[in-house]
Amino acid sequence: MNTHRAALVAVCLALTAVVSAVSSLMVALPDLARATGATQTELSWIVDGYALTFAALLLPGGYLGDRLGRRRVLLGGLTLFVVATLATVATEAPAALIGVRVAMGVAAALVMPATLSTITATFPEAERMRGVAVWTGLAGASAVLGLLGSGLLLTWWSWRSIFLLSSMIGCIALLASWRNVPESHEPRTGRFDGVGALLAVAGLGIGVYSIIEAPTYGWSAGRTVGGLVAGAVVLTAFVLWERRITAPLLDVRLFRHGGFTGGTLAVSALFFLFFGFVFVFVQYLQFVRDWSPLVTACAVLPLAAGLMPGARVAPHLVARFGLRPLCAAGMTLVAGAMCGLAALGDSTAYWLIAVLLWVLGTGMGWTMTPATSAITDALPREQQGVASAMNDLAREFGGALGIAVLGSILSSTYRARLRTPGLPQPAAGKARESVAAATHFGGSVAQSARDAFMAGMHHALFTGAGVVALCGVLVVALLRSWAGDDTPPRRLRLAGGQTTRAGRPGSRPGGAEAPRAVRQARPSPLLLDP
């Protein structure tokens, strides 16, 4: 195994550890709810506490990798990840579990940017092409692999075994990274933008908190509306702050670039739907269909069977049909498959579910690889840490927002539709808070809980399909403006004060433009796999 291939294996193991940790707990939610007494809202926080922290700290994590050394930050993040997952074994209460998941999210935010930026900054071009494609496919498929591993463990052990598996993967990734990942860093990255980091974390945190808690207090409650407005105000302040300083955490002027913006929007929309769908769907299979955790995990495998080959073949499809048509086709497949999944009943034949999942995965694979390359190609080599962190932020924030929004729609509809005739008030309150508690009562209450859950799932998944369809239209328009831009590239100021040519198809990672004839010959900015 050559040096770069060994490094690719190491960073992919690290990627698998942190991405699978987002989804691996989802298949255990029914068991966890019964064991800890967690409400539906607390279940959302147990999953989203990790995803939200992960997303909110990705940009600082990318900066630290650039400044301190990507290998060093990767090893530190993996160490913290292993320690935090082992600490979960000693937790009992839902609040303590949420706290440990937040610590895991901090570690993941250090790990993930270093994985992609190691590939884009240290691999030669021929191997970088393959590395990005492998990384992209694995970033999506790891979530499904996490579900499968959890399903296997829950066949014999409790939900705590899932964290032991995560710590084991983290230990293997730590050893492999220590031995095989080369050090790389960019010392000219400017001063750390602490104010920007605080504004980003506060804005994202306030907004997502308000969405997750909305079913408890009501969408029209002053607390919910005020929280959403406050989150929007803080994020607006973040944008204004980033525009005025010379060394921003994120140069928001990059969003003037159609490829960068289109790629970011596509990735965010796909993972909004993906993680929100998995959060809802695995509960449907267990609460409504009464399938075991292992059967549930296996039932989702057709999604990975479409996603990984779809991501791998995407560079060749772009070479033949172009980037914009492929993104349009991929996002159309995703929205169409989700509409079909949103219409499922409580006895729909599994073969139909499997076909829809395969189509969903294929559409995601077709879209993710070109979208990821569009983001990373928009920045020069010395800012690949920030580029990969932005790509990761789009994924993880989209996922955190998807879990929050679709989970909140599910919870709100469930509470509104549930009927508990004959139950005393304390028991009825528990049934409204938790599907697991409602199904435990049996009889008409359990059937009402299943019907209410189905109604919530339909509303949530149709909402997700609508979001992807709308974003697909915007992505195609943005990529059209990018492909059709024949004006000279703008000079963008980077963290540290230097300037670079960025954002044109055919730009080299270091910022120097390729000859015009080469730019015209390339079908897209995607790194093609020879």
pLDDT of residue 99 exceeding 50: yes
Containing 499, the helix (H) or strand (E) segment is strand 499-501
β-bridge partners, 492: 500
Instruction: Kindly state the tokens that stand for 378.
Output: 């928009």
* Dihedral sign from CA coordinates of 410, 415, 416, 417: positive
- Please say whether the beta carbons of 448 and 418 come within 8 A: yes
Cα angle: 480, vertex 481, 485; to 5 degrees = 115
Residue 91 φ/ψ, nearest 5 degrees: -85, 150
SS3 state of residue 152 = helix
Quick: pLDDT tens for 471-520. Answer: 999 988 887 765 544 333 333 333 333 333 333 333 433 333 333 333 33
> Using CA atoms, how far apart are residues 14 and 184, in angstroms rounded to an integer?
17
Closest by CA position to 305, among listed 371, 352, 368, 355? 355
> Using CA atoms, how far apart are residues 399 and 494, in angstroms rounded to an integer?
28
CA distances (Å), 410 to each of 185, 199, 280, 417, in order? 44, 30, 8, 11
- Please say whether the beta carbons of 26 and 134 come within 8 A: no
**Least confident segment among 158-172, 328-342, 494-508:** 494-508
β-bridge partners, 507: 513
Cα angle: 51, vertex 467, 231; to 5 degrees = 50
Task: Spell 334-355 as b/e; 16+ CB within 10 A means b.
Answer: bbbbbbbbbebeeeeeeeebbe
The answer for 314, left when phi > 0, alpha when psi is -120 to 50, beta otherwise, is: alpha
Closest by CA position to 298, among listed 112, 150, 80? 150
Instruction: Report, as an integer, the average pLDDT of 223-239.
Output: 90
Give the list of residues 6+ apart from residue 465 with CB closer than 8 angstroms, or none. 273, 335, 336, 338, 339, 342
**Least confident segment among 7-11, 135-139, 198-202, 480-484:** 480-484
- For residue 129, the model assigns a pLDDT of 66
- For residue 386, the model assigns a pLDDT of 60
> Using CA atoms, how far apart are residues 511 and 518, in angstroms rounded to an integer?
15
- For residue 523, the model assigns a pLDDT of 35
Q: What is the pLDDT confidence band of residue 403, given thresholds at 50, 70 and 90?
A: confident
- For residue 457, the model assigns a pLDDT of 92
- For residue 324, the model assigns a pLDDT of 83
- For residue 179, the model assigns a pLDDT of 87
Give the list of residues 6+ apart from residue 50 with CB closer than 8 angstroms, or none. 21, 22, 101, 102, 104, 105, 108
- For residue 272, the model assigns a pLDDT of 92
CA distances (Å), 89 to each of 96, 143, 254, in order? 11, 22, 43
The rounded percent of the chain whose pLDDT value lies above 70 is 83
CA-based radius of gyration for the chain: 22
Most confident range, picked from 80-94, 238-252, 309-323, 351-365:
351-365
> Using CA atoms, how far apart are residues 227 and 203, in angstroms rounded to an integer?
10
Instruction: Kindly state the tokens that stand for 190.
Output: 């400017």
Distance from first CA to last CA of the chain, Å, rounded? 20
If you search the block for the tokens 């010395």, which residue do you land on?
382
pLDDT of residue 526 exceeding 60: no
- For residue 489, the model assigns a pLDDT of 35
Closest by CA position to 340, among listed 277, 297, 416? 277
Runs of H (alpha helix) within 181-221: 194-217
CA distances (Å), 214 to each of 250, 271, 331, 358, in order? 30, 22, 29, 33
Higher-confidence residue: 443 or 490? 443
SS3 state of residue 330 = helix
SS3 state of residue 489 = coil
Give the list of residues 6+ apart from residue 3 with CB closer than 8 angstroms, or none. 180, 182
pLDDT of residue 127 exceeding 90: no
Helix axes 258-283, 323-342, angle to 10 degrees: 20
- For residue 449, give the amino acid letter: A
Quick: pLDDT tens for 342-380. Answer: 998 888 899 999 999 999 999 998 888 778 777 777 666
- For residue 525, the model assigns a pLDDT of 35
If you search the block for the tokens 């993972």, which residue do you land on?
271
Q: What is the pLDDT confidence band of residue 297, given thresholds at 50, 70 and 90?
A: confident
> Using CA atoms, how far apart are residues 219 and 25, in angstroms rounded to an integer?
27
Instruction: Kindly state the tokens that stand for 298.
Output: 């296996």
